A and B are shown apart, each in its own frame.
Chain A
Amino acid sequence: MSATYQPVLWNRQKKIYDWVMFGLIILFLAIFIGVSLVLFGDKITGETLIIRAFGSLAITMLHIILMIGPLARLNKKFLPLLYNRRHLGVTMFFMASIHGVFSILQFHSMGDINPLVSLFTSNVNYATLAEFPFQVLGFFSLIILFLMAATSHDFWLKNLSPKVWKTLHLLVYLAYAMLIFHVMLGVIQLEKSPLIVILLGIGMLTVIGLHLAAGYRQKQLGYLKEQVEKDGFVKVCTPDDIEDNRAKLVHLNGESIAIFKYENKLSAINNFCKHQNGSLSEGKFVNGCITCPWHGYQYLAHNGSSPPPFTEKVATYHLQLIDNEIWVNPTPEPEGTAIEPVLL
């Protein structure tokens, strides 16, 4: 929960995460390079091997990265994979850059024009699909991945605002689409083996399927079947519908409200964490604080403020308990406003 530019706030979980990640990267590269040398060692050149190994690694990593988000939304047990996902993203960018830089050196340097000009002007069949200059797709994807890697730190998240930052990071989907066709219109035209096309197809359909499943499941969450309203308050549920130390999500008048039950009390705060807009209603009341499921940002239940020295604040809402029914007023109080919890 720091907004100053410190490289990484290391902790044990992040270290485990990164060691596993580097282990998997080394496993991938070792197998790829080993198999290539055993099968084609008499033919393959060092540069070709580097370009292919890192390109294959990067596209494989991107698929894994893109599956983590929807998996964590479909099953909360995947949340630990989300916690440090940006290390995975930044590392993937570096792997893709090795592929990109070597390709530009190999295919475009030492020629009669500047390598970057050559990238755009050597193959100019932009109007056809089969002959499309696939390298350009890779180049723009790499630019997007660079922007994302460069702004991945919480410093940028804070300064750009979570909404702008998240929107910027939506560009990864554009990069993904371009990379699918960077592969399809590039190496697949040379290595026509159906196996690899099927692998890429399965990867693509899995990523799409998971995103759709997570998206449409989330759409159904937090809407009341019927809206009973009295004196500005809306009837939500009974206290028994909420587990201890957990919350109920409700969308009302454009507000997303998380109603927490803890220590025999009820409090309502805005659902979206100030860090990355994680859904606080999927969080838990831990050690006296509502804790965000994504990165563990914490808020006091009665006033929606992070405990000192932290400064994050979310809006709070008034609750009433009438005839064992919880009623909420969807008009938010200013962020950080203390509201007396409802006692059960």
Chain B
Amino acid sequence: MKSNDEFYIGYFPKAPKSIAKWIMTSVIILVISIAILSLLQARNQENLQANNFEFGKITELTGILQTTPVPNLVIHNGQDINGNDLFQSVLLIGLGKFGSDSLVSFFKNKIDLPLNQTEVTLRGTLIYSDGKTLLELTEEENALVKSVPLDSSITISSKKIGRIELNGEMIDSKCYFGVMNPGYGKPHRSCAIRCVSGGIPPVFWSTTEDKATQYYIVLGKNGEAINQQVLPYIADPICIKGEVYQYLDWHIIQTDIENEITAKGCSGF
């Protein structure tokens, strides 16, 4: 009956010996368990992306401002050995969870000449991942540094590739390519919905069996923005069908939102 003699009273200065020993052992087990649990949970973060958001660093980019297919700045990276122009399209994004449509319209009105006869310099924060680059117009209306008339006008157009059917996921371009990590999947869904709702271009990403990744800016069947209509499909595995265009380094998919997006995998696979 001796073991039952000991009785713990919290406000006494010391706990009885056998109880103190028991608790000591429990605490040691707890320390080991906590260390292991923390280690296992920390290791289990396999889906982080190689993203960059140069927060706090402003970069100036010079190029041709375009309002379609989505607001973007076409930068000229010189010519290759065959004399072909090397263009790259940098998507323009607003501050926070907003697109840049209204800002770009504001700049367009400020520039007297047509956009394809003007070279503009924009300031902002670079966002980039997996070869795709975006510029957050962090200083909003002050992001336009200057505009200089060009000697001749430049035509930049999309090239039609054909119809395609793809498995993948639709995300918001700002978070996916840099601001959040990871910027896809269920935990990020609400945020992606908020961003697309705020005008950030939705992008469909898909992978092929040989591990290549493709990105498609999602537009309506007539090339119009369909941000509000795609919200129910964001960050879910879907199958999308549509007409694919090449716009510089981006693909564009023009889809009929009513009939060509399904929540299940594509029937063809």
Query: Which residues of A does B touch, CB under 8 Å?
Result: 9, 11-14, 20, 24, 27-29, 31-36, 39-40, 42-45, 48, 52-53, 56-57, 60, 64, 76-81, 83-84, 106-113, 118-119, 122-123, 125, 131, 133-135, 185-187, 189-191, 193, 195-196, 199, 243, 246, 283-284, 286, 291, 293, 295-296
Contact = CB atoms under 8 A, between A and B. Distances in A.
B43 A83 contact: no
B75 to A, nearest CB: 26
B198 interface: yes
Interface string B184-214: 0111111101110110000000000000000
5 nearest A-B pairs in the assembled complex, by CB-CB distance: A110-B96, A111-B97, A35-B42, A107-B191, A189-B186
Interface stretch (B44-52, B102-110, B140-148): B44-52
B68 interface: no
Contact of A123 (B12, B31, B39, B190): B190
A27 B15 contact: no
Contacts of A191: 44-47
Given A11-B10, A112-B98, A296-B10, A24 B46 contact: no
B49 A195 contact: no
Nearest to A35: B42
B34 interface: yes
A148 B19 CA distance: 29
A31 B39 contact: yes
A60 B34 contact: yes
Contact of A296 (B11, B13, B23): B11
Interface residues of B, number: 58
B245 to A, nearest CB: 28
Interface string B3-43: 01001111111110011001100110011001101111111
A112 B198 contact: yes
Given A112-B194, A135-B190, A284-B7, A27 B43 contact: no
9 contacts: A28-B38, A43-B181, A44-B181, A48-B181, A60-B34, A113-B197, A190-B187, A191-B45, A286-B9
B197 A112 contact: yes
Given A52-B45, A191-B47, A123 B189 contact: yes
Nearest to A37: B42
Contacts of B39: 31, 35
Instruction: Point out which of A24, A110, A122 has the most chain B C-beta atoms below 10 A from its C-beta.
Output: A122
B190 A119 contact: yes
Interface of B: 1, 4, 7-15, 18-19, 22-23, 26-27, 30-31, 34-35, 37-51, 53, 95-98, 180-182, 185-191, 193-195, 197-198, 232, 236
B9 A296 contact: yes
B35 A31 contact: yes
Contacts of B198: 111-112
B180 A45 contact: yes
Given A84-B10, A291-B7, A196 B48 contact: no
Contacts of A29: 38
A246 B41 contact: no
A185 B186 contact: yes
Given A108-B190, A185-B186, A24 B10 contact: no
Contacts of A296: 9-12
Given A186-B186, A190-B185, A83 B8 contact: yes
A39 B43 contact: yes
A80 B10 CA distance: 7
A196 B40 contact: yes
A285 to B, nearest CB: 9
B181 A14 contact: no
Contacts of B194: 107-108, 111-113, 118, 122
B45 A81 contact: no
Nearest to A24: B34
B44 A193 contact: yes
Contacts of B51: 43
A40 B48 contact: yes
A80 B7 CA distance: 10
Contact of B38 (A31, A81, A107, A112): A31
Nearest to B9: A296
B46 to A, nearest CB: 6
A127 to B, nearest CB: 12
A80 B46 contact: no
A19 B197 CA distance: 47
